[in-house]
Amino acid sequence: MSDQLTAVIDLDLPGATISRHVYGHFAEHLGRCIYGGFWVGEDSPIPNVRGIRSDVVDALRAISIPNLRWPGGCFADDYHWRDGIGPRDQRPRMVNSHWGDVVEDNSFGTHEFMDLCELLGAEPYVNGNVGSGTVREMSEWVEYLTRGDDSPMSSLRRANGRDEPWKVPFFGIGNEPWGCGGNMSAEHYTDLARQYATYIRNHGGHTVDKIAAGANADDYAWTEALMKVSAKLGCGCDPRGFFQHVSMHYYTMSGDWADKGAATSFTTDEWYLTMKRARRIEELVRGHANVMDAYDPDARIGLVVDEWGTWWNVEEGTNPGFLYQQNTLRDALVASTHFDTFHRYARRISMANIAQTVNVLQAMILTDPDSGALVLTPTYHVFEMNTGHHDAGSLDVRFKGDLPTRTVDGSALATLSVSASTKDGTALVSLSNMDAETPTTLVLDLRGREVTDVAGRVLTAGTLHAHNTPDQPDAVAPTAFEGARPHARGLEVEVPAHSYVTLTLTLA
């Protein structure tokens, strides 16, 4: 079968390390992500630690959550951090004008977020306010968080109950300044970001990586404007440059912004259109990476995809400003194919954050507002199945033969996606079959190291629309995979239709 589709993997030639931070998460003050998701309050009958929901923490620790971005999102550029410190019953209220036009009581603020990160074992990614804030406000927040002596902000932190400073490795300079964060031009934001970055100081030996708010989808000119500045080392604020990372955002939908498509009642054609749009992430990452390479050929500056995922019409009967949507097998395959791209571009991508962690957009976890039940989504299971890729060396996958394709919207969609990595005497191979109806068989031509054992898992379901609910929490959940057979070159694998498969290889 010389014409059989083959994927060649050199197990002894790892490339760039896949940062665990590409498996990052995002929690905004939006709908029931914070309130009712992470935060239930200390008086809640739902088990909690200092008001933080225990089962949510346990579920996220189980997938080794590496970082959490907060407080937004669009909310970040309306958020004034001093409103979220001190006694909760004395904190001023505000209007969350972006998300539901509801009143925010600021009961979840800096101390609560940092407590959450410590419970999760996750590194905090704090997003500052450029749109309606000030340079001084952002500078003092960094001092409040990270300085350890008797400075004014350190003393204020101690007065609010926290003696030791926190570690905050990532700090964002605004969010979507081309839109909800101020409707700025690239040049105007770049000048502002350079100014703000100067005052985000490293206190007491603590180093903060500054993340410049980057492009929407294919706005490569925005990335270029930032790179012209950020690639210049030796600025007064930090010898590493003005920014250490530049971000980008991209959402997947089957419709348009006016009608994004339904989360669970979609056609097979919409399934394929979604997959095609999900796979566009590779084009976008490659485009931004090419711009960055022109100014930073040594890849000192990271690309952060800090908002990505599916965005559907909200579930019927829910507040349209809360962005609550169900999560099906289709969402899981959108996630798995995104990760393949992140693995392939490990040299450049330093972080990614799915939107969002609980009860909003492509969530890991859904919590029922009436019963309090917790549901793990199909997307959660992709994250769990991929923990072996965290901080592993990426492995190149080279195809021999033609990939299976479908014609979608006038052009070809390759329906098979594969990536691989290695660490600690094992290799992990991820295979996504986006074909709704047809299984795909391929040979894994495994070279360079002997494989002594293979363990497989598969995530699929009887229908494309399958999703988990409190009544059926395991409608889409991983099971043992038996479709990998020995082959003269390594393994022959039959990947079921509409499925995600991982193979863990034990190496000699």
pLDDT at 241: 84
| Whole-number percent of the chain with pLDDT over 90 | 96
Q: How far apart are CA 332 and CA 380, in angstroms?
A: 8
Instruction: Give pTM, 2 decimals.
Output: 0.96
pLDDT at 251: 98
In sequence order, the β-bridge partners of residue 249 are 216, 307
pLDDT tens-digit profile of 371-422?
Answer: 889 999 999 999 999 999 999 999 999 999 999 999 999 999 999 999 999 9
pLDDT at 256: 96
pLDDT at 1: 40
If pLDDT is split at 50, 70 and 90, which confidence band does 3 have?
Answer: confident
The strand pair at 499-507 and 374-376 is best described as unpaired
CATH topology of domain 17-393: TIM Barrel (3.20.20)
If pLDDT is split at 50, 70 and 90, which confidence band does 235 have?
Answer: low
pLDDT at 90: 96
| pLDDT at 476 exceeding the cut of 60 | yes
| Whole-number percent of the chain with pLDDT over 70 | 98
Q: 376 phi and psi, to 5 degrees?
A: -90, 130
331's tokens:
């969402």
pLDDT tens-digit profile of 270-294?
Answer: 999 999 999 999 999 999 999 999 9
| pLDDT at 369 exceeding the cut of 70 | yes
pLDDT tens-digit profile of 179-209?
Answer: 999 999 999 999 999 999 999 999 999 999 9
pLDDT at 240: 75
Q: What is the average pLDDT across 320-337?
A: 98
pLDDT tens-digit profile of 422-444?
Answer: 999 999 999 999 999 999 999 99
- Active-site residue list: 176, 307
| pLDDT at 236 exceeding the cut of 90 | no
How many CA atoms lie within 13 Å of 186's alpha carbon, on the beta-carbon side?
Answer: 15
| pLDDT at 468 exceeding the cut of 80 | yes
Q: What is the average pLDDT across 157-185?
A: 98
pLDDT tens-digit profile of 33-82?
Answer: 999 999 999 999 999 999 999 999 999 999 999 999 999 999 999 999 99
Q: How far apart are CA 435 and CA 497, in angstroms?
A: 6
pLDDT at 414: 97
Q: How far apart are CA 310 and CA 334, in angstroms?
A: 8
Under 8 Å between Cβ of 377 and 331:
yes
Task: Name which of 117, 213, 218, 133 is nearest 168 in CA terms.
Answer: 117
If pLDDT is split at 50, 70 and 90, which confidence band does 259 have?
Answer: very high
Q: Write down the mean pLDDT value for the chain.
A: 96
Interacting residues of 68 by C-beta distance below 8 A, sequence separation 6+: 24, 25, 26, 27, 113, 116, 117, 120, 122, 123, 124, 125, 357
If pLDDT is split at 50, 70 and 90, which confidence band does 230 have?
Answer: confident
Structural domain boundaries in the chain = 17-393
pLDDT at 174: 98
Q: How far apart are CA 124 and CA 70, in angstroms?
A: 8
One-letter identity of residue 50:
R
372's tokens:
């309090």
Q: H or E element: which one contains 457?
A: strand 451-459
